[in-house]
Amino acid sequence: MMMPYDWVLVGLALDLVGGLVLAKCCITKGILHAYREAQPRFGVNSFAVKSALLQKGEAVVGGALLTVGFGSQLCGGFQSGGTGTALGRISSVTHLLGLLLVVVSLGIGATVVANTWGRRRFRRYFLRNYKADAPPLKQVGAELDALGWLVDKRRARGEDDTSYRKRLEQVRARLGAKYAGRDKSIQQAETTRRRPRDRRSGADVGR
């Protein structure tokens, strides 16, 4: 049976991992990613969109861990009436390390799932208007590396621009066939933004 102090320790472990998950999006972001997100671009900055989706997933995981952790501590405090100090099942350093291992594994697994969701959601956005007759890629060097980051395909060691560009075109065709036309919400928003309006009434006047 779980003792009040067990609930408190479980809550503290969840809070610790939840805080690290929330901080991860800032701690692991390098200067190159920050630079790409801050660059002014025509239309929408896709780097900022992808980063926001990944951060949203991690924020959900971190927030959920913190919420459950504080709830566990409240449960332990309520059961003990604020005076319970006796150890329960978690009564040794080995048990405490085992608890931390389980909670860290939970946090890592949940973060991987959240990042997978974020990448798939971004692909729906990024490839929403893809067409099979799209012109070939022309990016070179750092621009080509940036495009590879957007579709999660990094340049292999020693790979030249020509080979990397060809591989990215294959990835674009495969993902485009899967995700093109699936982001209805963004496409509808774009259609609404482009539709001409009457200046005085603000009403749509047709396309």
pLDDT at 206 over 60: no
When pLDDT is cut at 50, 70 and 90, the band that residue 85 belongs to is: low
Q: What is the pLDDT of residues 172-203, one digit of tens each?
A: 999 999 998 888 888 777 776 655 554 554 44
Task: Give the pair of three-digit tokens for residue 194.
Answer: 């482009």
pLDDT at 41 over 80: no
Of 146, 176, 148, the C-alpha closest to 163 is: 148
Q: What is the pLDDT of residues 144-183, one digit of tens each?
A: 999 999 999 999 999 999 999 999 999 999 999 999 888 8
Q: Distances in Å between the alpha carbon of 199 and those of 59, 190, 196?
A: 41, 19, 9
Dist CA 127 CA 46 (whole Å)? 11
Dist CA 98 CA 94 (whole Å)? 6
Task: Give the pair of three-digit tokens for residue 159.
Answer: 């790979």
Residues 6+ apart with CB under 8 A from 23: none
Lowest mean pLDDT among 46-55, 78-87, 108-117, 145-154: 78-87
pTM of the model: 0.77
Average pLDDT score over the chain: 84
When pLDDT is cut at 50, 70 and 90, the band that residue 21 belongs to is: very high
